[in-house]
Structure 1
Amino acid sequence: MSWFAWLLLVAGVAIGGVWLSVLLSMWSEKKWIPPELRHGRLVYSEKPFSIQRPVRLSVRVDRAYQVGDHIQLVELKVRDGHRLFMSDVIEMSAQRLVVEKTTGMKVSDFGIFLLQRPAGGRRTVKKVWLLDQRTVLGLALRREEILRGSVLPTHASSIGTCRSCLYQRECNGTFKI
């Protein structure tokens, strides 16, 4: 076999390997997709949005898919445990509010979280009902009042939240850690 034939053979095997890798990656990516997104189209990825009224809110949407006449928010969370926190739900609820106000499109009442461990492995999909607009605005207004000093913050309601708080030393809260 000539050197040119060998070169063509090696190039063919390399190109075939790349295509196989791409196809396997696409297949693997499609496995986690919940039924709600099967016919969706990615419209936003790592996109910032902000509003000024009724409160100033800035968010960054991880991924958003257009599914029919509405947008579906999706967030990847890489962490040790396959669990969500209330802060995740609040964050995505704020995203929903800001995206609806800036685009004029309806955003789904539930969010989809894709959970994965740092070392990789199996992804878990969790669907969570998002907070309504009134609740999100109430939380944002309360935050502004706390930062202004017009109201005092309350203590954490769980020891886990207290344990990870940056203000432990200054706090004389319920939990003594």
Structure 2
Amino acid sequence: MRLDHAAVIGVGALALVLWWWRSRSDPRRARLPPELRSACLVYSERLFKSAGPVSISARVDKVYRNAAGVLVLVELKTREKNRTYQSDVIELSAQRVALMAHTGDAVADFAYIVIERPDGFRMGCHRVRLMAHADVISLAIRRGDLFAGKVEPQAICSSGLCRKCAFVRPCDPPWR
């Protein structure tokens, strides 16, 4: 009888160790920053919309609720280089505006960008500070005015960025 009791305890301990090891080695969790590895995933690949003078629609990649109850955005990017861009910050900031408006929940003023190569190798996880709500709305208004032809586009000082822009011909940047 004593041997059976020891076996049950041993199997239980083994199951606990295996569960702990698997939860720590889960590749999906390993891509996250340490503060989010124990957080709860609350939204994945979901569209949110804000109302108001400017309506913003944004699809989030992942949203986690951290230990303090605050929602944290995580964007997954596939790239050859381990770097973030201002367009990533703009995208996540718009997601924050739409998510806050839609849910009414507190959303962190920072987010994470997880970067992987096309072969799936994780290159990095970057914490970025998000734009203020008013700045996102101003940017959305300017974008609308540009598309409506109400304002003229301004050339940027980076010829590399200009060459990739869809508006390079009508803009006629000074470096050409």
TM-score by length of 1: 0.80
> 1:114 deviation in Å?
0.1
Partner of 1:51: 50
Rounded Cα–Cα distance in structure 1 between residues aligned with 2:27 and 2:96: 28
> 1:122 deviation in Å?
3.0
Structure 1 unaligned blocks of 5 or more: 1-18
**Residues 32 and 123 in structure 1, CA contact (< 8 A), matched pair in contact too:** no
Rounded Cα–Cα distance in structure 1 between residues aligned with 2:99 and 2:23: 33
**Residues 153 and 171 in structure 2, CA contact (< 8 A), matched pair in contact too:** no
- Percent identity between the two aligned chains: 39
Rounded Cα–Cα distance in structure 2 between residues aligned with 1:46 and 1:158: 33
Rounded Cα–Cα distance in structure 1 between residues aligned with 2:151 and 2:169: 20
Rounded Cα–Cα distance in structure 1 between residues aligned with 2:122 and 2:155: 36
> 1:119 deviation in Å?
1.9
Q: Report how many aligned residue pairs link the two structures.
A: 155
**Residues 92 and 130 in structure 2, CA contact (< 8 A), matched pair in contact too:** yes
Equivalent residue of 2:98, what SS?
A: helix
Rounded Cα–Cα distance in structure 2 between residues aligned with 1:54 and 1:125: 34
- Amino acid corresponding to residue 162 of structure 1 in structure 2: C
Structure 1 outlier segments of 4+, above 6 Å? none
Provide the aligned C-alpha RMSD in A: 2.0
Partner of 1:76: 76
Partner of 2:168: 168
TM-score by length of 2: 0.81
Structure 2 unaligned blocks of 5 or more: 1-17
Rounded Cα–Cα distance in structure 2 between residues aligned with 1:43 and 1:175: 47
- Amino acid corresponding to residue 54 of structure 2 in structure 1: V
Q: Deviations over 1:43-97 (max 9, x none)?
A: 1100001123120211000000011321000000001111111111001001001
- Amino acid corresponding to residue 127 of structure 1 in structure 2: R
> 1:26 deviation in Å?
4.8
Rounded Cα–Cα distance in structure 2 between residues aligned with 1:132 and 1:124: 25
Rounded Cα–Cα distance in structure 2 between residues aligned with 1:53 and 1:91: 19
Q: Deviations over 1:117-141 (max 9, x none)?
A: 1122233100000001111111011
- Amino acid corresponding to residue 168 of structure 1 in structure 2: V
Partner of 1:36: 35
